[in-house]
């Protein structure tokens, strides 16, 4: 269980650091913050896209079962 906690803590720290870099880069931060912010925004888009594709599949299957009732 402690390994899961360590991994989740690391993911949380990386996400918060990425968000801070997005804000810092938007305010004219150093060049490296722009790179980190691009990576953070890309990762967010990928997560959002994967969530949409899973949501569409779930909605389609639940919609077909609702139509049968």
Amino acid 3: pLDDT = 92
Amino acid 58: pLDDT = 53
On whether the CB atoms of residues 64 and 52 are closer than 8 A, the answer is no
CA distance 36 to 38: 5
Return the biggest CA–CA distance within the chain. 59
Which candidate, 10, 14, 38, 13, places its Cα nearest to that of 24?
38
Torsion angle in degrees (nearest 10) through CA of 5, 8, 12, 18: 140
Q: Indicate if the pLDDT at residue 24 is higher than 70.
A: yes
Overall pTM surpassing 0.75 (yes/no): no
């Amino acid at each position: 269980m402690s390994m899961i906690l360590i991994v989740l803590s690391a993911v949380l720290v990386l996400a918060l650091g990425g968000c801070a870099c997005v804000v810092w880069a938007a305010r004219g931060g150093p060049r490296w913050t722009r790179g980190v912010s691009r990576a953070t925004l890309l990762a967010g888009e990928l997560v959002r896209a994967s969530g949409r594709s899973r949501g569409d599949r779930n909605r389609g299957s639940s919609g077909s079962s609702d139509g049968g009732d």
